[in-house]
Structure 1
Amino acid sequence: MVTYNILDYSPIDEGSDARNALMHTTEMARLAEKLGYRRFWVSEHHHVRSVAGSSPEMLMMHLAGSTERIRIGSGGVMLPHYSPYKVAENFRVLEALHPNRIDRSPSYQLVNRALNETKGKRLSYEQQIEDIRHFLSEPANNHRFRDLAAMPVIDTAPEIWLLGTGVGSAAIAAEHGLSYAYAHLAKPGGGHDIVRHYRDHFRPTSLLSRPKVMISVFAVVAETPEESEALAKALDLWLLSVESSSPPPYYPSVDTALKRGFSTLEKEKIKNNRKRMFIGTSEQVSKDIQKTAEEYQADEVTIVPNVFGSKNRMNVIALLAEALDIRN
């Protein structure tokens, strides 16, 4: 049976601010829990002026304290920029305070430079994944830091998911026996072969006895096709803006999107980006989600309701909860 999750970017809506964006994320987490979703994840974005979620661990702590049972996680933590040991301790503290409710998902240039300015030689990504596994839940006797323990020492451990869009990430997840989250919303083409590679090469460990797959999708849902199309136009403009040289410090409103004209090149980009979205009524989109989950043979689907307006975002997850028959 497929289970369903929510991932929120904490978008700063046009006319609003970052504080309200984070408060809206809290409201959505509470609603997702009430509706019966299994997980609520936040993102890590840097230098994206229209997104407030730059420090997922801190936001996760707030969300875990604001909810009771829904699993809280990050999709993902940009592990190449950090010390695996410090990341492990952050998540151990979260797990200690909220046992069996914490997920972490590492993922793969000014931001890169700023985050790594004082660092010398960096570890390979695969080595960092191995280190995280060692520090969080599966100590290795031959590890170079075998005498170093991540604190606090507790009886439970966060779930580890590896987030990716390519064969490289799938191969690492399979090699280390980790759950794999494929970002269908970023790269809808070719994902089936990547997930198949993960399954075919999966090595069982004490962490996970069989391969486990999650896919993430953009969902734009409203009561009518016309309303969902209007919301999709705002998402079109937001995706264009985050790829531009001077993005605005907000998620554009539907009115702004409807009034703006688009160049030929922008229209081509919008056409390609539409392949990343499921748009329509809850009945239409739920069928698209279920069909895609079946194609991937996914265990879980993470829905990203990245539309303008906190009320619209909460309406998306409420409509889909009913259409997908999600229950507590």
Structure 2
Amino acid sequence: MISLNILDYSPIDEGETAAGALNQTTRLAQLAERVGFKRFWVAEHHHVASVAGSTPEMLMMHLATSTENIRIGSGGVMLPHYSAYKVAENFRTLEALHPGRIDLGIGRSRSYRIVNEALNESKTKRLSYEQQLTDLQKYFADDTESEHRFQSLQAMPVIDTTPEMWLLGTGQGSARLAAEKGMGYAYAHFAKPSQQGVEAVEAYREEFRPSTFLKEPEVIIAVFAVVAETAEKAEELAMAFDLWLLFVESDSPPPYYPSIETAKKRGFSASEKEKVVRNRQRMLIGTAEQVKARIDAIAEQYATDEITIIPNISGADNRMNELRLLAAAFNLSGK
């Protein structure tokens, strides 16, 4: 049986505010719990004016308090920007308050140059990503015996449980690193929907080394999904999604997620239509049953039973509706 998760960007719908978007994320998490989704993750995006999700740890604390049972996580924390020690203490605090419910999804997106400079300007040196992951695991394991430059240092608070750790990635490098560190691997199919992804996941499983935190390899596949009651309505939502992706890739994107009406009125140039065709390969579009069939095929392709849905579509009501439709199609069991 396939378990479904949600990764939410907190999109700021046209005519709405960032505060409203964060409140809508809260309602979406509560609905996801009610209808039976397993995890609800939030993203870290900087310098993207159309999404409000920039600090996942802060939002996670609010969401975990606003829900009861669903796992709450980051999709993900961009570790190269931060101290592994501070990340460990942030997530230990979350886990202490909500034991057994916290996921730490880790990524290394380099984002915009200005963002990288602003987040790293006070650093005297940069550690490798591999070293930061080693440091993070040292702190979560309370390892004060192994040789380390901060051997006696412990991350506070010291607690009995540990957040689940997932490495996010799009290829062989991240897959092999997740295998080496004995972490779960979350593959971004929505970014690179190709045979290379299947090969990356296979490499992860083949090279996986059990760790203190994970004994067997675990895989999550993340997809963009556009779901509505009819294929025609799904196509309209996909058109707005097409435009948002074009906006994000442009030099001066507007500070909102475009509505269906805006997408219809604006239309697309010839060069934009070519980009839309390419981007459509990254999406699952249709009714819940149509998208379920695609998800079932992807799950089989990657030999996984856990799929993360990114319902990044226009309109809070449409996002809520997508969750209800998918929950019904997959016979999820909620509260």
TM-score by length of 2: 0.96
Instruction: Give CA deviations for 1:37-77 in whole Å, capped at 9, x if unaligned.
Output: 11000000000000001111000000000000100000000
Aligned twin of 1:28: 28
Give the 5 Å matches for 1:84-233. 84-108=84-108, 109-137=113-141, 139=143, 141-189=146-194, 190-233=196-239
Aligned twin of 1:55: 55
* Aligned equivalents of 1:299, 1:132: Cα separation in 2: 27
Amino acid at match of 1:143: H
Q: Are 1:312 and 2:318 an aligned pair?
A: yes
Instruction: Give CA deviations for 1:159-186 in whole Å, capped at 9, x if unaligned.
Output: 0000000111111100010000000011
SS in 1 for 2:293: helix
Residue pair 1:138, 1:207 contacting (<8 A) in 2 also? no
TM-score by length of 1: 0.98
CA drift at 1:261: 2.4
Aligned twin of 1:259: 265
CA drift at 1:206: 2.3
CA drift at 1:128: 0.6
Q: Which runs of 5+ in 1 are unaligned?
A: none
SS in 2 for 1:115: helix
* Aligned equivalents of 2:187, 2:27: Cα separation in 1: 26
Q: Are 1:270 and 2:276 an aligned pair?
A: yes
SS in 2 for 1:160: strand
Amino acid at match of 1:71: R
* Aligned equivalents of 1:162, 1:219: Cα separation in 2: 22
SS in 2 for 1:6: strand
CA drift at 1:133: 1.1
Amino acid at match of 2:149: R
SS in 1 for 2:75: strand
Amino acid at match of 1:218: F
* Aligned equivalents of 1:266, 1:66: Cα separation in 2: 40
CA drift at 1:274: 0.4
Cα separation, partners in 2 of 1:54 and 1:201, compared to 1, 3 Å:
same
* Aligned equivalents of 2:264, 2:38: Cα separation in 1: 35
Amino acid at match of 1:128: Q
Amino acid at match of 1:301: I
CA drift at 1:259: 1.1
CA drift at 1:138: 6.1
* Aligned equivalents of 2:191, 2:17: Cα separation in 1: 26
